Structure 1
Amino acid sequence: MQLPASSRPDQNWLRAFMFTIFGTTALVISYFPLYYKEIGFSSAQIGYLYAVGPLISMFSNMIWSYTSDKYRTIKRIMNILIIGQLVTMLVLWQVSSFGVVLITISLFYFFYYPVYPLADTMAIQTAQRYGRSFTVIRVFGSLGYAFFALAIGYAVGAAGASATLAIGIGIGVFTLLCSFLLRDGVATKSEPVELSALLKILRSKEILWFFGCSFCLAIAHRMNEAFLTLTLSGLGAGEGLIGWSLMISAASEIPIFFLLSKYGDKMKELPLLGFASLMFALRFLLMSLASDPLSVLAVQSLHSITFGVFYVTAVRYITRIIPWQYRATGMALFIIFWSSASGLLSGAFGGLLFEAAGRTAFYLLAAFLAFVAFVGFLYRHLFAKPEDMNISGISA
């Protein structure tokens, strides 16, 4: 029997936490590049600053998530991570030379990236505790991203890009307060978390195939993410219009999340992942053809059937194929492929490609990579052998 909403404040505080951490995401992904441009960095330098975060997070995600699984606490780890973000943003606010900014932002990313797989893991646990779908909690992240993307756009338009970090610190303070009010992950009498068992999981064909296809798609997604605001700025869009673009993409996820929470379990994951990848390819093809900011705004509405479908389905897939005692680590591995390694490549080489070949070639490459992911997921769905679908004999 489910508890009434009034008797489950932990779920409500988690929703508030999701709302605010995705406000930080909107700031970091979409407005940090404008801040870097404001203090005089080139597109290539901005690409390097974007790339260093994923490089750092390849290690920090695993360190913090494995620690969370080992010591069976998510809340305390997230408290530490949010405090670390606040301290490094305060330092970043005071510096402007490229070398110092590079070092400081590296420290910031060490605390920034691991929050998201841990928050998703806590959302999965909380949803299971109340017999709800993960998406009814995760949707508040989309609401937060939509709200803050628009609000920050107008705030930056009024105060200038130099106010970006002050806004980030304000969001971070509220996020920290929410993090102290969260209920920690469920303590269980599970088997001990062992590195050898984790490595056995990673060698399974199912995991390798999923991460390989996700990685191709992620490179394309991160290319767009890193240079969307610069694309809009280059087409003559102001900060307010940039905020609307980000709000449209985030808000478009919300109905998809609710539809998938109601009907998603009735559909197989691999065909859904393939469909999302094909729609990503179409989205980036249209981005290569867009010639004005309003066209980009229209293309952004496809975010619902690209990222919205892919992310929810991927999380469901991970929770099915990875044993539950390794769930935080499994989510961290997904984030490493989806965000870290792909962000490293797209940031390091995307900036150079964007400068040298132009926006059209940049987005055509993204469309091709998304199409490769579509072919991979479709092939896996049609031709995988039943024995390959077992995670090396480790039961969930």
Structure 2
Amino acid sequence: MNDNERQYAASWALRGLIFFYFASVGVLLPFLPLVFREKGLSTWQIGVLFAIGPLVTMTIQTLWGFISDRLKTVKKIIIFQLVVVSMLSGFVFESDNFYLLLPALFIFYSFAWPVIPLTDSLTLSCIRNIGGNYGHYRLWGSAGFGLTALVCGKLFLTYGVGLFTMVYVVLIIICLIMCVFLNDAVYLGKRACLRDFKQMLTNRDIIIFLLIVTLLSSTNRANDAFMSIFIKSMGGNEAIVGLAWTVAPLAEIPVFALGGLLLSRYSESALMTAAAALFVVRWGLFSVISTPEMIIGAQLFHGVTFGLLFMCAVSYMSKSVPERLRSSGQGLLSCFFGGVAGITGSSLGGLLMSRWGPVSLYTVCTLISTAAFVLFLFRYRQSNAVTRLGTSLRESDKK
């Protein structure tokens, strides 16, 4: 096998890793709340437990990215994380003690969630080496998540959520097998240092961008944490839960498939402004839904809301940081996009669901999305004004 063939095979191994890791997330996100509910935990306790993942993302994710950049390896760190995750799964998912679950989930998430931004970093490295675009890799994650949520919805409806741990561990083991065939990320030039890291953290434009993204992403995280319970409260079963979680990621696939074309024609700011407007519509629909089946239709908006926002955010960060901070940049994005947003969304969502119910939750999400739309629109117009000014100055210089 020559070098080109090895790179081609490794690119498909990367797609396989993305597919099966997101398949494991397709088990975790939709059905872990139901596992905890079956063990007798309250809605508030479930909200707190779901906030641990984002807390870890906020505090640990960027550190893993910097370690990766410093050591100039992504593949080895992903393998290490997956091994630890597989070892911890049995205890974490079988425990019914809320106070034991708090530290156990913290440790588990410290290794589980950083895998996602590291696979993004590996994807960006692969694209630079052999071509292609990010969306064509990331759509495999959407497919893995969606198909697994659908299959597991029917599986757990028939046999119960007692199979949860076994299904999850099998998927992680398959991910480890995929890692054997991966090429590691290629780092050119000097190693990342703490000075580089500090400059990234103090970049004003990056921080403002991340704060607006966090505001919008928090609404999606609240929905992630409580949509399954919302469906069950209206009389829906595990099959409907699985279908609702299937429709959402499958709706991302066309967006990711067309991602390269969209980003070649429109700026990230323009596309994220459009995504924010569609988030307003999405949560507005959720606030008036009265049957579990209606959620499935509303979930079709997930592709043009979350999918578009996430794709543009990854693109923006990859352009905003130097190559030697590739993993750190994606880790920082994940810190805000999943961490800060997740803590806010899960905690606020748990409070609203417990006290006033789902209508209040999705009404607040609609208002937050409206605020994010206004901020993105202002940022987009500001960037356009700067672009027009630069064009005008260049034309005057020519004269």
Normalised by the length of structure 2, the TM-score is 0.93
Q: Pairwise mapping of residues 218-367 of structure 1 onto structure 2 (< 5 A)?
A: 218-367=217-366
Worse-matched range after superposition: 337-346 or 4-13: 4-13
| Residue pair 2:19, 2:142 contacting (<8 A) in 1 also | yes
| Residue pair 1:38, 1:162 contacting (<8 A) in 2 also | no
Q: How many Å separate the matches in 2 of 1:56 and 1:209?
A: 22
| Residue pair 2:153, 2:242 contacting (<8 A) in 1 also | yes
Q: How many Å separate the matches in 1 of 2:359 and 2:83?
A: 40
Q: Which runs of 5+ in 1 are unaligned?
A: 388-396
Q: CA deviation at 1:181?
A: 2.2
Letter in 2 for 1:354: M
- Give the match's secondary structure for 1:185: coil
Q: How many Å separate the matches in 1 of 2:314 and 2:228?
A: 27
Structure-2 residue corresponding to 1:9: 9
Q: Which runs of 5+ in 2 are unaligned?
A: 388-399
Q: CA deviation at 1:297?
A: 0.6
Letter in 2 for 1:60: I
Q: CA deviation at 1:193?
A: 1.2
- Give the match's secondary structure for 2:287: helix
Q: CA deviation at 1:269?
A: 1.0
Percent of aligned pairs sharing the same letter = 26
| Residue pair 1:88, 1:105 contacting (<8 A) in 2 also | no
Letter in 2 for 1:315: V
Q: CA deviation at 1:111?
A: 0.6
Q: How many Å separate the matches in 2 of 1:97 and 1:43?
A: 15
| Residue pair 1:281, 1:370 contacting (<8 A) in 2 also | yes
| Residue pair 1:127, 1:137 contacting (<8 A) in 2 also | no
- Give the match's secondary structure for 1:263: helix
Structure-2 residue corresponding to 1:148: 148
Structure-1 residue corresponding to 2:186: 186
Letter in 1 for 2:255: I
Q: CA deviation at 1:127?
A: 1.6
Q: How many Å separate the matches in 1 of 2:34 and 2:139?
A: 27
Structure-1 residue corresponding to 2:212: 213
Structure-2 residue corresponding to 1:176: 176
Q: How many Å separate the matches in 1 of 2:263 and 2:4?
A: 25
Cα RMSD between the aligned structures?
A: 1.6
Q: Cα deviation per residue 1:239-267 (whole Å; 9 max; x = unaligned)?
A: 11111111111111111111222332221
Normalised by the length of structure 1, the TM-score is 0.93
Q: How many Å separate the matches in 2 of 1:294 and 1:94?
A: 31
Structure-1 residue corresponding to 2:47: 47
- Give the match's secondary structure for 1:132: coil
Q: Cα deviation per residue 1:313-340 (whole Å; 9 max; x = unaligned)?
A: 1111111122111111011111111101
- Give the match's secondary structure for 1:8: helix
Structure-1 residue corresponding to 2:28: 28
Say how many residue pairs are matched.
Answer: 384
